[in-house]
């Protein structure tokens, strides 16, 4: 029991940050969603094959849980003031980018978060979301198009 717990803490727990980063842009109770995800993963941890992609496995669990919940209302903009980081984009740009992402349709937002922010490939996203890879590519393309329209003024400002 303790050995299994150690293994879970070593392999799965480090990914709560990524899960929470995506969950906070999908639901109003991200911590509950991530907790539910991790406990579900813990219950099924004996079925997980060591060496396989634990991160994709956790995200698949979370997206299933998210859809099972019926997609609760997404949050308002995450407050960012006072959390600027040296080397990161300035607060006004970052909040505008975050707002643009939050305004995307949830299907588009999800693939953008998984693909662009978390670095999953289209095939991995297809496995996580249980949809064909063509659907993922299509959603990602639409998400980028929508963002391009919303972020054009900022892009111009950033280019000037």
Does position 131 interact with another protein (CB under 8 A)? The reply is no
Q: For residue 110, which of 156, 148, 63 has the smallest C-alpha distance? A: 63
Cβ-based neighbours of 126, under 8 Å, separated by 6 or more: 132, 133, 135, 136
**Range 64-93, binding another protein (CB under 8 A):** 78, 80, 83-85, 88-89, 93
Q: How far apart are CA 160 and CA 157, in angstroms?
A: 5
Q: Is residue 46 a contact residue for another protein (CB under 8 A)?
A: no
Other CB atoms within 10 A of residue 24 CB: 19
Contact between 128 and another protein (CB under 8 A)?
no
Q: What is the b/e burial string over 103-135, where b = at least 16 CB atoms within 10 angstroms of the residue's CB?
A: ebeebbbbbbbbbeebebebebbbbbbeeeeeb
Smallest distance from the beta carbon of 59 to another protein, in angstroms? 15
Q: How far is the CB of 160 from another protein (least distance, A)?
A: 14
Q: Does 34 bind another protein (CB under 8 A)?
A: yes
Q: 126: which 2 tokens?
A: 């297809």
* Cβ 19 to another protein shortest distance, Å: 8
Interacting residues with another protein (CB under 8 A): 1-2, 5, 8-9, 13, 16-17, 20-21, 24-25, 31, 34-35, 38-39, 42, 78, 80, 83-85, 88-89, 93-94, 97-98, 101, 112-113, 115-117, 119, 121-123, 136-137, 140-141, 144, 147-148, 151, 154-155, 158
């Amino acid at each position: 029991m303790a050995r299994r717990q150690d293994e879970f803490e070593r392999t799965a727990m480090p990914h709560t940050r990524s899960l929470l980063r995506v969950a906070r842009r999908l639901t109003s109770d991200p911590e509950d969603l991530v907790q539910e995800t991790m406990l579900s993963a813990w219950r099924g941890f004996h079925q997980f094959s060591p060496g396989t992609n634990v991160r994709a496995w956790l995200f698949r669990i979370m997206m299933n849980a998210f859809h099972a919940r019926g997609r609760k209302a997404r949050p308002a903009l995450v407050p960012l003031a006072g959390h600027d980081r040296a080397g990161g984009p300035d607060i006004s740009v970052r909040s505008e980018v975050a707002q643009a992402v939050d305004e995307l349709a949830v299907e588009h937002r999800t693939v953008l978060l998984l693909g662009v922010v978390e670095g999953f490939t289209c095939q991995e996203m297809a496995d996580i979301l249980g949809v064909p890879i063509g659907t993922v590519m299509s959603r990602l393309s639409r998400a980028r198009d929508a963002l391009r329209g919303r972020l054009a003024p900022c892009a111009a400002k950033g280019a000037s």
